[in-house]
A and B are shown apart, each in its own frame.
Chain A
Amino acid sequence: MTEPFFQVDGLNTWFFTRQGVIKSVRDISFDLRRGEVLGIVGESGSGKSVTGMSIMGQIDEPGRIVSGSISLDGQELTALTFEEMRRYRGRKIAMVFQNPLMTLNPLMRVRDQMYEAISEHEDVSHREMHDRCIEVLKAVGIPSPEERLNAYPHEMSGGMRQRVVIATALLLGPDMIIADEPTTALDVTIQAQIIYHIRRQIDERGLGMIWITHDLSTLSELADRIMVMYAGATMEIGTTEDIIGSSRHPYTRKLLDSVPSRNTPGEKLRQIPGNMPSLLSLEKGCPFASRCERATEICSEPVPATQLSATHRIWCYHPFEG
C-alpha cells in the first residue's frame, strides 16, 4: 500500500454566530492515498460538507478553522494565504458540487469555460487545450464530445452538465478531487454511469478522491474507505468492508438498518428515534448518546478512539462485538 499524500489532522471548524458557537467540525482526522476514494457519509448537519469546504479554504465569516492541520504532499494548506490557496485550487485540488450550475457559467459555451480553466494556470496553445478537453470529456463518458464543447450549459441535461463539471475538474490533472453530493440530484441510471466512469478515472490516473454524501449505497459501490460523521464528529472510519460489512458502531449500524432495502418489505423500518442534537448545545461526550440504546453514564465523557484493526477505528464506549 502506498503512503498517504493528503492528511487532515485534528481539524476543528467552528462558526461564531450570534446564537453561540456552532462547532460544525470537531477533531476530524483522516488521510488519503493515491488511487483511493474516501467516502464521508453523514446526515444533514453532520459537518461533512464543512469538512470539504475547510479543505478547499472556502470557509466564510463567521466561520473559521480553529485548529488542526491539512497537508497535501507535505504542504500545509491552512498556512496559505487566500491568493496562494486560489492558485493551489484547480491545479492540485478540484471540487465538484451537487448543483453543476454552481460551477458552470450559463452565459458561456462549455469550450470557453474549459479553456479558461486551463489558461488560468497554464500557457498552452489552442490546439493542445482542445485536445485536452476532448480527452477528459471522453474520459467521463460523454458521447460526441466535439459537439458538447460548443454547447451552452442549458442545452444539456443535468447528468451531462455534471459530467462536464467532473471533466473540467480533471482538466488540470489535480492530485485530488473533493465531490460534495455530486450525484444526489441525478437519476439512478445516470448516477450509475457517472460512478462507473469516475471509478475508472481514479484508478487510471491515480487520483485521490473525497466523496461526500448522505447515501451509503453509493459509497458501498464506489468507496475504498468510509468515514461516518455525526453532529460534527467522526463516529467510525474504516475500509468499506469494515463499515458496510462489519460495522461496530451503534450509529452506523442504525443508519444501515434504517435503509428500506435492508428491511422486510411491508414491515416497519428500524428507525432511529429522536433528532440530531443542536450543534449549539453539544456536551463533551458522544453526541449520539441521547438516541443510542447502548448509552450509559460514561458516554457523557469525551470518547477516545479505539483502533480495532489496522484500518478500522471507532469512537464508542460500547461498540458491538466483532
Chain B
Amino acid sequence: MNEMIFEAKDLSRSFTVGRSALRNLANRFLGERTPTVLRAVDNVSLTLREGETLGVVGESGCGKSTLARMIAGILPVSSGERHFRGEPYDSLLARKRDALKIQMVFQDPLSSLNPRLRVGEIVGEAAVLHGLVPRSRVKDYVVDILARVGLPADSISRYPHQFSGGQRQRVGIARSLAVKPDMLICDEAVAALDVSVQAQIINLLMDIKRESGLAMIFISHDLGVIRHLCDRVAVMYLGRVVELAETEQLFATPTHPYTRMLLDGMPKISLERRKFMPIQGEIPSPLNPPSGCHFHPRCPIATEHCRRTRPELREIASGHVHACLNVEAL
C-alpha cells in the first residue's frame, strides 16, 4: 500500500455566533446560556494515501467546504491535527514553497478567477513569485500548462470573462497545476457546469491524476460524480463523518441510514418511477443540531438511545467504518 500523504485527526472548526461585548453583558445579567457555538466541522479524522482519491459527500451545511479549506491550509482549525507527509501543518505552512504542494480547485469558475488579471498572470503568478520558474521563461511554462488542460496558447492574454464556464474551470485547474502540487482538493469543482462540460472536466481531472499520480480529495454533493472518480468515500452529515468505506463497498452495501437515504434519493436516469414516499424532514440547522446522533430526527430506526448518545465511528469491515448505534441490532 502507498505511503500516507495526508492525515487529519479530530479536526474541528467552530464559530461563536453573535458574540459581542454587549451580548455578553446582556447574557451575564439576564442569566442566558453561553453564546451559540456553530460546529461546522466536528471531530473529523481522515487519511489520504499517495495517488489515492478520497471523496467527501454530503448535503449543504454538512461542513464539507469548511473541511476542504482546513485541509488546504487556508482556514485555521479550532482543534485537531493536520499532517502532510508526517509534518504538522504549522511548520509546513511557514515554508511557503513546500506548502504549495497542497492545492485547491474551487466551485465557482468565475468568482475563483480574479477578473482583472489575464490568464497568463493568473496561472503564472505564484510559480514566478515562489521561484519555481524564472520570470523570463514563465510564458512558455504557462503555455505548456494551458496545453495540458486543453486550452490554446493564445488564452494567455485573455481575461476570465472571455471564456465559457468549462474553460474557466480549466484555467482554475491550470493555476493549481502550475505550482506542481502533490495533493489536490477539489471543492464541488464540477457542480456549476453543464452535463457535457462536467464530463470534460472530470475526464481532465482523471487524465491529470493518471499522468502525475496526484492524491486528490474530491468534495461533492453529487454521488454519481463521486462514485465515478473516487477510491474511497466519506459521507458527512452536520459536521461529522457518518460512514467511510471503499467506493464499491459503500455503494453496494451502505450501512448508515443516512447513506442509504442519500443513495435512495440520488437521481437516476431510469424509467422506473419512484412510488414510495421519500424520507421526510429537513436538514436541521447546524446552529442547533439535534442531540446524540445528529440524524436521529429523520432516522427510521432511531431509538431513545440515539437521542442521548453520540455515536463514534466503528469499523464494521476492513476499511469500512460508520457511526450508527443501531444498524447491527436490526
Q: Bound complex: CA of A321 vs CA of B197, how far in Å?
A: 27
Contact with A along B234-270 (1 / 0, CB 8 A): 0000000000000110000000000001101111111
The reply to whether the CB of B273 lies closer than 8 angstroms to some CB of chain A is yes
Q: B130-138, B200-208, B305-313: which one contacts chain A?
A: B200-208
Q: Bound complex: CA of A166 vs CA of B206, how far in Å?
A: 40
Given contacts A44-B165, A189-B262, A271-B203, contact A256 B269 (CB under 8 A): yes
The reply to whether the CB of B98 lies closer than 8 angstroms to some CB of chain A is no
Residue from B199, B225, B271, B283 whose CB has the most chain A CB atoms within 10 Å: B199
CB distance from B209 to the nearest CB of A (A): 11
Q: Bound complex: CA of A270 vs CA of B198, how far in Å?
A: 11
The reply to whether the CB of B232 lies closer than 8 angstroms to some CB of chain A is no
Q: Bound complex: CA of A218 vs CA of B195, how far in Å?
A: 13
Given contacts A268-B203, A269-B228, contact A44 B196 (CB under 8 A): no
- Set of chain B residues within 8 Å of A261, measured between Cβ atoms: 224, 227-228, 266, 268-269
The one of B194, B207, B262, B277 that contacts A43, using a Cβ cutoff of 8 Å: B194
A157–B196 touching, CB < 8 Å = no
B267–A218 touching, CB < 8 Å = yes
Q: A79-87, A239-247, A311-319: which one contacts chain B?
A: A239-247
The one of B199, B202, B227, B278 that contacts A189, using a Cβ cutoff of 8 Å: B278
Q: Bound complex: CA of A272 vs CA of B202, how far in Å?
A: 12
The one of A44, A157, A221 that contacts B282, using a Cβ cutoff of 8 Å: A157
Contact with B along A7-32 (1 / 0, CB 8 A): 00000000000000000000000000
B265–A192 touching, CB < 8 Å = yes
B203–A220 touching, CB < 8 Å = no
CB distance from B265 to the nearest CB of A (A): 4
Contact with A along B13-55 (1 / 0, CB 8 A): 0000000000000000000000000000000000000000000
A190–B282 touching, CB < 8 Å = yes
A43–B197 touching, CB < 8 Å = yes
- Set of chain A residues within 8 Å of B277, measured between Cβ atoms: 196
Contact with B along A30-45 (1 / 0, CB 8 A): 0000000000000110
The reply to whether the CB of B166 lies closer than 8 angstroms to some CB of chain A is yes
B228–A187 touching, CB < 8 Å = no
| Residue total for A at the interface (Cβ-Cβ under 8 A) | 45
- Set of chain A residues within 8 Å of B166, measured between Cβ atoms: 275
- Set of chain B residues within 8 Å of A121, measured between Cβ atoms: none
The one of B225, B247, B268 that contacts A220, using a Cβ cutoff of 8 Å: B268
The reply to whether the CB of B274 lies closer than 8 angstroms to some CB of chain A is yes
A192–B274 touching, CB < 8 Å = yes
- Set of chain B residues within 8 Å of A244, measured between Cβ atoms: 269-271
A187–B225 touching, CB < 8 Å = no
Residue from B166, B222, B278 whose CB has the most chain A CB atoms within 10 Å: B278
The one of A240, A245, A259, A265 that contacts B247, using a Cβ cutoff of 8 Å: A265
CB distance from B276 to the nearest CB of A (A): 9
Q: Is the interface of A mostly helix, strand, loop or mixed?
A: helix
Residue from A188, A221, A240, A268 whose CB has the most chain B CB atoms within 10 Å: A188
The reply to whether the CB of A254 lies closer than 8 angstroms to some CB of chain B is yes
A187–B269 touching, CB < 8 Å = no
- Set of chain B residues within 8 Å of A192, measured between Cβ atoms: 264-265, 267, 274, 278
The one of B196, B203, B248 that contacts A254, using a Cβ cutoff of 8 Å: B196
CB distance from B258 to the nearest CB of A (A): 9
The one of B60, B197, B227, B274 that contacts A260, using a Cβ cutoff of 8 Å: B227
CB distance from A39 to the nearest CB of B (A): 12
The reply to whether the CB of A306 lies closer than 8 angstroms to some CB of chain B is no
- Set of chain A residues within 8 Å of B262, measured between Cβ atoms: 188-189
Q: Which of A117-136 contact B (CB under 8 A)?
A: none
The reply to whether the CB of A158 lies closer than 8 angstroms to some CB of chain B is yes
Q: Is the interface of B mostly helix, strand, loop or mixed?
A: helix
Q: Bound complex: CA of A275 vs CA of B248, how far in Å?
A: 33
Q: Which of B160-175 contact A (CB under 8 A)?
A: 164-167
Q: A94-102, A170-178, A209-217: which one contacts chain B?
A: A209-217
The one of A44, A157, A217 that contacts B283, using a Cβ cutoff of 8 Å: A157
Q: Bound complex: CA of A261 vs CA of B278, how far in Å?
A: 21
Q: Which of B219-234 contact A (CB under 8 A)?
A: 221-225, 227-229
Q: Bound complex: CA of A196 vs CA of B203, how far in Å?
A: 33
The reply to whether the CB of B279 lies closer than 8 angstroms to some CB of chain A is yes
The reply to whether the CB of B280 lies closer than 8 angstroms to some CB of chain A is yes
Q: Bound complex: CA of A241 vs CA of B271, how far in Å?
A: 7
Residue from A158, A241, A259, A273 whose CB has the most chain B CB atoms within 10 Å: A259
CB distance from B268 to the nearest CB of A (A): 6
Residue from A191, A220, A244 whose CB has the most chain B CB atoms within 10 Å: A220
- Set of chain B residues within 8 Å of A256, measured between Cβ atoms: 269
Q: Bound complex: CA of A192 vs CA of B167, how far in Å?
A: 32
- Set of chain B residues within 8 Å of A193, measured between Cβ atoms: 278-280
The reply to whether the CB of B144 lies closer than 8 angstroms to some CB of chain A is no
CB distance from B24 to the nearest CB of A (A): 25
Given contacts A44-B165, A221-B267, A258-B196, contact A265 B228 (CB under 8 A): yes
The reply to whether the CB of A141 lies closer than 8 angstroms to some CB of chain B is yes
The reply to whether the CB of B59 lies closer than 8 angstroms to some CB of chain A is yes
Given contacts A44-B165, A189-B278, A263-B228, contact A158 B269 (CB under 8 A): no
Extra pairs beyond A196-B274, A216-B269, A256-B269 (15, CB < 8 Å): A189-B262, A189-B265, A191-B267, A192-B274, A193-B279, A196-B277, A215-B267, A220-B267, A240-B271, A258-B196, A260-B199, A261-B224, A261-B268, A266-B229, A268-B207
Could you list 17 examples of A-B contacts with CB < 8 Å?
Answer: A157-B283, A189-B283, A191-B265, A193-B278, A193-B280, A196-B274, A214-B194, A216-B195, A216-B269, A244-B269, A261-B227, A261-B266, A261-B268, A265-B247, A268-B203, A269-B202, A271-B203
- Give the top 10 A-B pairs by smallest Cβ distance, nearest first: A217-B267, A258-B199, A187-B59, A43-B194, A260-B228, A271-B199, A192-B278, A261-B224, A260-B224, A269-B199
